[in-house]
């Protein structure tokens, strides 16, 4: 699994909302960068929970502590495989990685959201689906304490030709760019690409509980 001290910063409970964006433009139905970062954050969060709350079972971890939301099945499989094969988590119970629809009526302390798509042409083919404000609102409100979203610039900067879709997209885009304004830093996050360790230049946005910056 990749490691960075930035992962601790991303999971800082004092900043309950975090958005990580990046400019890669080659991912469609699956995204190895997002899958690895989500898996690494999950493993770190599991270690933090174990250190702070003795006796939390695997079942309780997946049903109460964390939920991973992503829109495409290929990304679900990638994240689950990494959690089992690289992070060493068990398949009994299996990691709870699913679409937002499966989280209706449920809550977790931490929600990790992987938006996957980082190809502008592919965004255009499913813009109404992936930029749906209803889907975003449901995902956000599943988090009791902490929400972390990974999303490409291809989505954050996309301008739909349909005015209705454009209004819907603005809901998500303005959340990242305006609401998450307490933090706006450039960071490099590690991931493995074709077997070699690489880094992705990212923008880290966030909102502290009082809406002010860490300073």
Averaged pLDDT, 36-57: 96
The β-bridge partners of 179 are none
Q: How far is CA 143 from the centre of its chain?
A: 12
Would you say 70 and 116 are in contact if contact means Cβ atoms under 8 Å apart? Answer: yes
| pLDDT tens by residue, 145-172 | 999 999 999 999 999 999 999 999 999 9
* pLDDT interval class at 212 (50, 70, 90): low
Would you say 127 and 158 are in contact if contact means Cβ atoms under 8 Å apart? Answer: yes
**Owner of token pair 């990046």:** 22
- Measured CA to CA, the distance from residue 172 to residue 155 in angstroms comes to 9
Is the bond preceding residue 136 a cis peptide, omega within 30 degrees? no
Would you say 153 and 201 are in contact if contact means Cβ atoms under 8 Å apart? Answer: no
pLDDT given for residue 211 in this prediction? 58
Share above pLDDT 70 across residues of the chain, in percent, rounded to a whole number: 98
Q: How big is the CA angle at 36 (ends 31 and 42), to the nearest 5 degrees?
A: 125
pLDDT given for residue 187 in this prediction? 98
Share above pLDDT 90 across residues of the chain, in percent, rounded to a whole number: 88
CATH 3.40.50 fits 6-207, yes or no: yes
Averaged pLDDT, 116-133: 95
Cα–Cα separations (whole angstroms), residue 164 to 77, 128, 133, 140, 173: 32, 9, 11, 22, 14
Q: Is the pLDDT of residue 17 over 90?
A: yes
Q: Is the pLDDT of residue 20 over 70?
A: yes
């Amino acid at each position: 699994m990749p490691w960075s001290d930035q992962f601790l910063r991303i999971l800082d409970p004092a900043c309950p909302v975090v958005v990580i964006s990046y400019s890669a433009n080659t991912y469609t139905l699956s995204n190895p960068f997002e899958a690895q970062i989500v898996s690494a954050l999950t493993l770190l969060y599991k270690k933090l929970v174990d250190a702070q709350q003795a006796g939390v079972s695997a079942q309780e971890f997946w049903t109460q502590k964390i939920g991973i939301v992503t829109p495409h099945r290929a990304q679900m499989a990638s994240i689950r495989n990494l959690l089992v094969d690289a992070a060493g988590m068990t398949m009994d119970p299996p990691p709870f990685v699913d679409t937002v629809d499966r989280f209706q009526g449920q809550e977790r302390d931490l929600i990790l959201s992987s938006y996957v798509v980082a190809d502008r042409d592919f965004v255009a083919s499913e813009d109404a689906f992936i930029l749906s404000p209803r889907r975003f609102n449901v995902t956000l409100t599943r988090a009791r304490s902490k929400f972390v979203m990974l999303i490409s610039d291809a989505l954050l900067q996309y301008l739909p030709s349909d005015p209705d879709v454009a209004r819907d997209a603005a809901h998500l885009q303005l959340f990242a760019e305006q609401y998450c304004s307490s933090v706006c830093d450039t960071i490099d996050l590690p991931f493995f690409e074709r077997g070699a360790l690489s880094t992705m230049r990212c923008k880290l946005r966030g909102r502290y509980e009082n809406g002010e910056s860490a300073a």
